[in-house]
Structure 1
Amino acid sequence: MSANENTAQSLTSKVVDAIIYYIIENNLQAGNKLPNEDTLASMLNVGRGTVREAVKALISRNILTIRRGAGTYVSEKYGIADDPLGLTFMPDKRKLALDLTDIRIMIEPEIAMLASQNANGKEVAELEVLCDETENWILSHRQQHLMHIHPDLKYHAKIAQFSHNSVVKNLVPIIYSSIEMHVDFTQSKLVDDTIFFHRKIFEAIRDHNATQARDAMLMHLMISRREVEKANLR
């Protein structure tokens, strides 16, 4: 590699760091728009080509995303790798579903407890709306068991968000993977349990009852695990 190539790489790396610093300093959140290429180049005193290479690097790291015709935005993935644990390469998907459920049992009851302690009034109201929407969605798609995945994921994601723990939000993709896995195995059998425990979890968070929030989430996940085990035996 030539000295010029080394210099170009070094400059691109510096611009990558500068853009990350800009995101942090300006408290940009997922979905927020960055200045355009010309503005960034002027701000950082570099050429547009260098900015372009830095943006490409940040896209590859799931920090930025391009919306065609709209500009550059902070990615919804917020720097989280698509498969950080290499789960794609685990051949036994049934065992993976069980193992992921075990991980959920370890962490999600505590997340629910934190949410019950830290969620504010606005967040509680938002969670209630989402709980109602999830319940209505599940009931209206009772015979299409895969259809309740997305509102269910959103519900669990909001609980993680309302825990106000900055690390928890990066654990949510793992939770998503678990839900996607065991819905395939348990099919529609957990529909009624999902509705019941989602409501119990919400009520505990609303009432700021940490013990009940933790226990309701634990029961919800233990029942899910039991169904995954049954699927493993079939």
Structure 2
Amino acid sequence: MSLTEQAIERIRQLIKDGTLPPGARLPPEQELAAELGLSRNLLREAVRSLVTTRVLEVRRGDGTYVTSLSPELLLEGVGLAVEMMRGDDLIEITEVRRLFEPVAAGLAATRITAEQLREVERHLNAMIAAQDDVEALNHHDDAFHRAVFDATGNKSLSALLGGIASRTLRSRVWRGLVEENSADRTIAEHAAIYRALAHGDASLAHAAALMHVSTTETWLRENLGRSLMETAPEPLR
């Protein structure tokens, strides 16, 4: 473990043991460095790293604070990482979606409120109306699924799935579906998820979500392979 990693771990330990709870202001730099037995430069490196991971936040002119440490904040980095993935890594992420999204849909079916169901329906209707508008389809598709995730009442699950469900990847899939005149089928899969939620049927919601993610995964496998073949260099003759 490097010196910087050791410094990060010491600050994290203060947070984990409650010495620095969520919302707490860190002691002045010189005081904290002395308390932890660190140089001020090393402490600054550790703080910068923890700011990047949303554990700490710097308020200019006021000091450095521990964040709320909410799941949606701490798991924000998942989405940033997914947006950088390419090739087979995207397939793996879709496999993760296939494992978790059906479970989330089933859970949402047992917990969704009337207001949350109306929000899901609103985005479904917007997708139906959008037809060939890829940007609108992508926006409301993302919002549809986030509304379902939120209906689980599990903030950690919602934040994790929200990060995994890359909007860039969704846009790519929607563009391909529109070009292939297959958007209606995918919208119908969203409608099946909505109907299951409306009936409070967890098993049906699980099955509908599994079918939807599996369709996306199949499309991605086929088209990712095709795009790789198209960009592959010519064999030597």
On whether the aligned pair clears a TM of 0.5, the verdict is yes
* 1:107 matches 2:100: yes
1:176 is aligned to 166
- Secondary structure (helix, strand or coil) at the match of 1:41 reads coil
1:31 is aligned to none
Give the Cα separation in 2 of the matches to 1:207 and 1:69.
53
Aligned 8 A contact 1:116 1:209 in 2: yes
**Aligned partner (choices 199, 202, 205) of residue 210 of structure 1:** 202
Give the Cα separation in 1 of the matches to 2:210 and 2:186.
12
Q: Deviations over 1:140-161 (max 9, x none)?
A: 5433213322332232233334
Q: Relative to 1, partners in 2 of residues 1:103 and 1:180: Cα closer, same or farther, differing over 3 Å?
A: farther
Give the Cα separation in 1 of the matches to 2:165 and 2:190.
15
Q: Relative to 1, partners in 2 of residues 1:106 and 1:52: Cα closer, same or farther, differing over 3 Å?
A: same
Shift of 1:58: 1.7
Q: TM-score, normalised by structure 1?
A: 0.62
Q: Relative to 1, partners in 2 of residues 1:161 and 1:135: Cα closer, same or farther, differing over 3 Å?
A: closer
Q: Deviations over 1:34-82 (max 9, x none)?
A: 35xxx4428xx747x7987654232222434568799965584414534
- Return the letter of the residue paired with 1:15: I
2:190 is aligned to 198
Give the Cα separation in 2 of the matches to 1:174 and 1:140.
26
Alignment of 1:94-173 (within 5 A): 97-117=90-110, 119=111, 123-165=112-154, 168-169=157-158, 170-173=160-163
- Secondary structure (helix, strand or coil) at the match of 1:81 reads helix
Q: Deviations over 1:113-157 (max 9, x none)?
A: 12223x1xxx43343232233234334543321332233223223
Specify the structure having the higher radius of gyration (Cα). 2
Give the Cα separation in 2 of the matches to 1:208 and 1:171.
21
Instruction: Give me the CA root mean square deviation.
Output: 4.4
- Structure 2 unaligned runs (5+)? 34-39, 228-237
- Return the letter of the residue paired with 1:41: P
Give the Cα separation in 1 of the matches to 2:138 and 2:56.
26
Give the Cα separation in 1 of the matches to 2:19 and 2:135.
36
Q: Relative to 1, partners in 2 of residues 1:89 and 1:11: Cα closer, same or farther, differing over 3 Å?
A: closer
Q: Relative to 1, partners in 2 of residues 1:86 and 1:128: Cα closer, same or farther, differing over 3 Å?
A: closer
Give the Cα separation in 2 of the matches to 1:18 and 1:113.
38
* Percent identity of paired positions between Structure 1 and Structure 2: 19
Query: What is the total number of aligned residue pairs between the two structures?
Result: 209
Give the Cα separation in 2 of the matches to 1:22 and 1:221.
40
Aligned 8 A contact 2:134 2:178 in 1: yes
**Aligned partner (choices 8, 11, 14) of residue 15 of structure 1:** 11
Aligned 8 A contact 1:124 1:206 in 2: no
